[in-house]
A and B are shown apart, each in its own frame.
Chain A
Amino acid sequence: MADLDFDLTVALDEHGACRMTLRGELDLATAGRLEQALAEAGDAVLLDLRGLTFMDSTGVRGLLEAAERGGPGLRIIAPPSGDVRVTIEETGIAALLPLVDADGPGRP
């Protein structure tokens, strides 16, 4: 078996807002775990993708579905460079995602 090196951790703050941190590779093998975690989370979710080392279009589709379903409480932090940023840029989906700066406003 391949070591897929994927990890998804969920932390709740005192207001019940959810911070979901992804690490490793988001693809066909792991996108289902993101989908399940998002389905179980509440409306306010901060999705931190900076620990991802790879994402392909299966991951892109998961993010778009989350953005469509998630409503105004979903925020996504994407890495500034690397494979995941390339995938976001090349697919042209940045405008369709609720992207926020890591340190800026927009925390749920």
Chain B
Amino acid sequence: MSPSFSTSFDPALETPALARHELEGWLPSSLPERERGVLRLLVSELVTNSVRHVAGSAQKVVLGVQIGTRAIRVEVLDGGRGFTPGKLEPRGSDGGFGLFLVERMASRWGVDTQAGTRVWFELDLPRGGH
């Protein structure tokens, strides 16, 4: 079984920091610092985007993390209208570098707009860990 964690946040300027600090407590202590840094940064990017999408509404931002043996999966869900990722370049579709960094640093990522907006990514873990 893969341990999984989830928390919802009210959208506020402090939400990305809260999400990063929550994430830190979920990650296994064996995870190398490089991977921790990538997760910290990409979670901050996705939560920042969600906060911007739903700012001023009563909607929550939900962070979910699943710790697999080969990869860590992160999902950030909000109730805002979705978007279609186009070609990502610096200062791209989100008006900044956020999704550009996700595209560049995550192993895989995607967007699901079936109900609200769910952006996910996976980060492969180094082989032969432990």
User: Does B98 count as interface, using CB distance less than 8 angstroms?
Assistant: yes
User: Which chain B residues numbered 36 to 52 have a C-beta less than 8 Å away from chain A?
Assistant: 37, 40-41, 44-45, 48, 51
Measured as residues with beta carbon below 8 angstroms from the partner, the interface class of chain B is 20 to 34
In the bound assembly, the distance between CA atoms of A30 and B64 in angstroms comes to 24
Complex Cα distance A4/B41, Å? 15
Closest B residue, CB atoms, query A83: B37
| 8 further contact pairs, Cβ within 8 A, besides A56-B45, A57-B100 | A1-B14, A27-B17, A28-B13, A28-B16, A28-B17, A57-B98, A60-B96, A61-B96
B→A interface (CB under 8 Å)? 13-18, 20-21, 37, 40-41, 44-45, 48, 51, 90, 96-98, 100-101, 104-105
Interface residues of chain A, those whose CB is within 8 Å of chain B, are 1-2, 4, 25, 27-29, 32, 54, 56-58, 60-61, 83, 86-87, 90-93
A-B contacts, 18 of them at CB < 8 A, read A2-B17, A4-B14, A4-B17, A28-B14, A28-B17, A29-B13, A29-B14, A54-B44, A56-B16, A57-B101, A61-B97, A86-B37, A87-B41, A87-B101, A90-B41, A90-B105, A91-B101, A93-B90
3 cross-chain pairs, A with B, having the tightest CB-CB distances, nearest first: A57-B97, A56-B44, A29-B13
